[in-house]
Amino acid sequence: MKTSMYFGPFGGQYVPETLVPALDELETAYLESMNDSSFNEELRMLLKDYDGRPTPLYFAPRITESLGGARVYLKREDLNHTGAHKINNALGQVLLASRMGKKRIIAETGAGQHGVAVATAAALFGLECIVYMGEEDVHRQAPNVARMDLLGTKVVPVTSGTSTLKDAINEAIRDWVTNVENSFYVIGSVMGPHPYPLMVRNFQKIIGEEVRAQMLEKEGRLPDQVIACVGGGSNAMGIFHAFIQDPDVALIGVEAAGKGVDTGLHAATISGGKPGVLHGSYSYVLFDEDGQIQPAHSISAGLDYPGVGPEHSHLAATGRATYVSVTDDEAVEAFRRTCRLEGIIPALESAHALAHVYRTAAALPKETIVLVNLSGRGDKDMDTILSL
Amino acid sequence: MNGISQAFDGKKALITYITAGDPDLETTAFLLKLLDERGVDILEVGIPFSDPLADGPVIQQAGQRALKSGTTLKKLLAMLASLKEEVNAPLVLMGYMNSLMAYGLEAFAKDAAEAGVAGVIVPDLPFHQSEELAGQLRSRGVDFILMVTPNSTQERLSAIAEKASGFLYCVSLLGVTGNEEKGNAPVEEYIQRVRSCTKLPLALGFGVGTPERAKAAASVADGVIVGSALISLLEPCGADRKQIEEKATEFIGSLRAAVDSAG
């Protein structure tokens, strides 16, 4: 390996031997691309002209007024092409795949946002694309399945194990092991074996870099708190990264508590899990005393995952970031409240971050600045909300 | 119980894989004794895991059946310990890293050694991550068995061969266990490449499911590993020992003959 595989003790490469040459090849190509000005220029152009970056930093006056405490800002990742931050990483990885001469793209998806982003990027580059999706999620997220189909991607329903995101990832890894010579696996979060956690974070760190400059321009100073939801944790790492060296900026990750962390029906991996190995890295994981991975539960399909990226585990262990959790009910309440107050329909994932603000920001002094990563838009969640 | 190296002594080794607890641990104990009596040289036993990403559908489902029957690593080790005096062939455990971490690597190494386990294979623990576990096992006389694959570089093969003990598990194809389609790939050149790096016995597995393929594999390697095919064959028997005995005896007999004829 050419760069460190670890964040503190977390990370590594817990994969079948067959994938080791592929991870080596990927690491080499990725590190080369980082220093390749033509790669960086092409990606910058795509993010600007195709995706619509930079996304705005928006002061939310009615949320702020209703709370009567901290000033609340939203980083509008919901305004990206395809409706979430996922496209930042999908464009980066698919561009890299294309430059490596790979003709076949594999991805997994839970809510379908990463699947749609990869399907979009694969269409843009004219590459074959296969997306694995738990059968349960195929039904829950039918509009996104239709979108991927329109974009020319083959969606494969996964019925093994618990038929959810973790099983879709298992299946994507099995496909990759089998077709490793011609395929590129586009992982959708800051998880998986090295170099994925590093690479995905670096493709997402543009969120924090933009918003840091935007905040300095608007307020002349950095925010006091940066808040983001955490499933695997890519939008959170994306916005946190630029602030890690600023000790006065509190970084707060909001996990999905589902029905409540003490009920066992949750996806709060850091709050309720232990260090273990899942999908190629050592990080916090939900598992029982025999080591069996426990199914996660969240109303938000994008947070419904029993693992979390290794860099988050490290930020939690060192205390640099704090991790809290929000229940399904609190997230739904925050979802509705944001629609009414700001005319913005947030993704249910992002609604978890907002719920933490609604819970805490009223008690903060008026000069406090709270920045929330509004990671995606909530059109995809209409069926879930209307069925409540 | 014999050691791993004896299994390759003067003959081609026949190695079988079954998932512990499929359909229950009592049946597994019965089957291990039976396979031993019928001439299997190494008994590989899978630790059932919820997310076995190196396995194809057959072993995935065997693992699900085993978990449903309440199998845990703790119960499995207790069962193996009780079998110690009754089985001649060395026992090799195959399991995923999270199962071992949840148990505790040191406690696992200690309890596995006490249960008479001769070797351990961890399909999601590649060579460069294996130092701690390998050390824990080897200090207690248990082999940590490493895997190599057709796409392993020469440099890596040499590094793995230098640290390996017991035998080298040569994955025959790029893929997961039980891949019938790819099981036909020619392996002569691959096995020669591995052999140039090590004096350890080489066992070929993944996609070796019929006596014909076992014979072909044994003609180039020192041993063959048959898993998914055996599990598929026995699945309809459930816990019916008479049926298991009939089917396993016939299948192992044909594999044994095929492997011996390649010697």
Distance CA B67, CA B52 (A): 12
Active site residue B55: yes
A276 interface with B at CB cutoff 8 Å = yes
Q: Which residues have CB under 8 Å from A267's CB, separation 6+? A: A231, A255, A256, A257, A258, A286, A296, A297, A298, A303, A304, A305, A306
Which portions of chain B are predicted below pLDDT 50? none
Q: Are B51 and A166 within 8 A, CB to CB?
A: yes
CB contacts, 8 Å: B51 with chain A: 161, 166-167, 170, 278-279, 293
A25 interface with B at CB cutoff 8 Å = no
The predicted model gives A98-104 an average pLDDT of 97
B72 interface with A at CB cutoff 8 Å = yes
Count the helices and strands in chain B (H runs, E runs). 12, 9
Nearest by CB to B53, from A17, A22, A170: name it: A170
Residue A1's pLDDT is 62
Q: Which amino acid is at A275?
A: P
For residue A273, report the phi and psi dihedrals to the nearest 5 degrees: -110, -170
Instruction: Report residue B168 as tokens.
Output: 């080298």
A160 interface with B at CB cutoff 8 Å = yes
Please name the residue of chain A whose CA is at the shortest distance from the CA of residue B179: A178
Q: Mind telling me how many Å the CA of A318 is from chain B's nearest CA?
A: 22
Residue A161's pLDDT is 86
A27 interface with B at CB cutoff 8 Å = no
Residue B1's pLDDT is 64
Active site residue A48: no
The predicted model gives A344-365 an average pLDDT of 98
Q: Mind telling me how many Å the CA of B62 is from chain A's nearest CA?
A: 11
Nearest to A202 by CA among A125, A313, A91, A50: A91
The predicted model gives A208-227 an average pLDDT of 98
Please answer whether residues B41 and B13 qualify as being in contact, where contact means their C-beta atoms are separated by less than 8 angstroms.
yes
Catalytic residue among A33, A77, A86, A330: A86
Q: Mind telling me how many Å the CA of B67 is from chain A's nearest CA?
A: 9
Q: What are the pLDDT digits (tens) for B132-166?
A: 999 999 999 999 999 999 999 999 999 999 999 99
- Given a cut of 90, is residue A230 above it in pLDDT? yes
Q: What are the pLDDT digits (tens) for A300-314?
A: 989 999 999 999 999
Q: Mind telling me how many Å the CA of B73 is from chain A's nearest CA?
A: 7
CATH class of B4-262: alpha beta
B129 interface with A at CB cutoff 8 Å = yes
Query: Coil, strand or helix: which one is A260?
Result: strand
Query: Helix A37-45 to helix A86-99 angle, to the nearest 10 degrees?
Result: 140
Q: Where are the domains of chain B?
A: 4-262
Please answer whether residues B13 and B222 qualify as being in contact, where contact means their C-beta atoms are separated by less than 8 angstroms.
yes
Residue A2's pLDDT is 79
Residue A368's pLDDT is 98
